[in-house]
Amino acid sequence: MSDSVITLESLAIGYDGQAVLSGISLAIARGSFTAILGANGTGKSTLLKTLLGLQPAVSGQIKIQPPAGFGYVPQATQFDPLYPLTGFDVALMGTFGRVGPMRFPSRAEKDFVRDCLRATAAEGFAQKKFSQLSGGQKQRVLIARALATKPEILVLDEPTAGVDVAATKSLLEFISQIHEERKLTVLLVTHDLPLVKKHAQQIIWLHDGAVLHGTVAELFTPERMAEIFEMEVG
């Protein structure tokens, strides 16, 4: 895990050329599990969107070492609940980058998606409408969709938002499991500090216009936590 899959050099992120965070310089190790923390409005989703290429950086550089395809798990609430898709249909979207526009996925691709749904324990409800699934079930389908892209980097934007405590624990344990089994690099935006402490290895903590980066052991000491929370509330 010594080589870096993502390197940020003097990166500034924001909108319309205006930076909300700047001077971000850090490296994310290949195969690591990194949690991105911070209060609402600190730039967590902006950082994810910039890494994914969904919006341009204000300045600086992002270096991604190939091969390093992304699998993205958005919040389930970003999907239109009236869109008449089954869980399987949503997971099948993960193949579209390989299949190409205006083409139908092959039987082999569909079988692979079923494997992804089976891996996320979502196969049993995949034929139900996505809008009718529980929060935890939706997130399992979205993780299956991300796995169907055959990524090396799995990016999850608050996958436990709106999910009950039991499902949150189950999802984080599952994400940790596939991280170990598939040797994926995981970037996880979350607010759940106890589960981060249990599962993550690295932390990127955004607060007060600054970025802290280190191991869980380095940033979860009582002294450092007190300093961080004093900055966030002060």
Question: 3-state DSSP call for residue 61?
Answer: strand
In a domain, 120, yes or no: yes
In a domain, 49, yes or no: no
Work out the mean pLDDT of the chain and round it to a whole number.
Answer: 88
In the chain, how many domains are there? 1
**Residue 95: inside a domain:** yes
Is 109 within the bounds of a domain? yes
pLDDT in tens, 123-151: 999 999 999 999 889 989 999 999 999 99
105 domain-assigned: yes
Say if strands 202-207 and 210-215 run parallel, antiparallel, or are unpaired: antiparallel
Q: Is residue 30 part of a domain?
A: no
pLDDT band at 80 (very low <50, low <70, confident <90, very high): low
Q: Is 44 helix (H, G, I), strand (E, B) or coil?
A: helix
pTM, full prediction = 0.86
- Distance of CA 163 to CAs 48, 77, 89, 168, 218, Å? 21, 11, 22, 6, 29
Domain that holds residue 101: 85-151
Q: Does residue 31 belong to any structural domain of this protein?
A: no
> Cβ-count burial of 29 within 10 angstroms (0-12 exposed, 13-18 middle, 19+ buried)?
middle
- Provide the pLDDT for residue 1: 44
Residue 142 resides in a domain: yes
Residue showing tokens 């089976």 = 118
Q: What is the pLDDT of residue 109?
A: 95
